[in-house]
Amino acid sequence: MRDATEPSPVAVQLARMPRVVETLLAQHVPDAGSRCRGCGLPGTGSAYLRWPCSLWLIADTARRLLASRN
């Protein structure tokens, strides 16, 4: 039976790629104003997203999946 706490299929896929998870977690970090450094694109005029962003949340779930397997 599925419930709301079940990890998303994307997170399950990511958990097979530890280096990608590491890279995402390293890039998507908050700045002093709690905005994601990884999601903003300086020089393009795109707005920074509030942290934690969706990508970080997915990567964090994948990291926990990895940790639970080791």
For 68, counting Cβ atoms within 10 Å of its Cβ (0-12 exposed, 13-18 middle, 19+ buried), the class is exposed
Of 64 and 69, the one with the shorter C-beta distance to Zn ion is: 64
Give CA–CA dist 46/59, Å, rounded. Answer: 22
Q: Which residues bind Zn ion (CB under 5 A)?
A: 28, 36, 38-39, 53, 55
Shortest approach of Zn ion to residue 28 CB, angstroms? 4
Q: Which is nearer to Zn ion, 21 or 38 (CB)?
A: 38
CB of 7 to Zn ion, least distance (A): 18
Nearest distance, CB of residue 1 and Zn ion, angstroms = 32
Task: From 30, 36, 18, 25, select the one nearest 58 (Cα to Cα).
Answer: 25
